Amino acid sequence: MPDFKLWLEFEAVDYGDYDVENEFCNIHVDTKEGIRYGINVWTFKYLETSRLIDQQNGENLNGAYVRPPDLFVKELTRECIEKVIEDLLKIGRLENLLNPSVYVGSLNNIVDED
């Protein structure tokens, strides 16, 4: 059992046809120390999909660049993301390992609307 609570957008919202290897989502990580993180997660395959979408709609210089998410993973499943977050937290604080903007704040100061 991990030392954190994980909220996954794909479990909270039914998107219908959802490709776990070619998609993106948002997650919340609440640590036992009372820290909340908000993380934008993409699969490796979605990086190329995002570039092709930009190429088609003319954004980001017609797909010449992609503004990345906070984290890339192999697949959007609870098992995969839980293992990744657990591994990262063994290394250090997520705001030091990922984009510093993933840090939302102390759970004592956050009003949860769940």
In a domain, 114, yes or no: no
In a domain, 37, yes or no: yes
Band (pLDDT 50/70/90 cuts) for residue 100 is very high
- Residues 30-52: b if buried by 16+ CB within 10 A, e if exposed: bbeeebbbebbbbbebbeebbbe
Q: Using one digit for the tens of pLDDT, what is the confidence trace for 53-97?
A: 999 999 999 999 999 999 999 999 999 999 999 999 999 999 999
How far is it between the farthest Cα atoms of the chain? 45
In a domain, 57, yes or no: yes
From 9-18, 23-32, 48-57, the region with the lowest mean pLDDT: 9-18
Average pLDDT over residues 37-52: 98
In a domain, 100, yes or no: yes
Average pLDDT over residues 35-59: 97
What is the pLDDT of the chain when averaged over all its residues? Answer: 93
Per-residue pLDDT at 112: 57
In a domain, 67, yes or no: yes
In a domain, 84, yes or no: yes
- If one counts the domains in the chain, the total is 1
Look up the domain containing 16 and give its range. 4-108
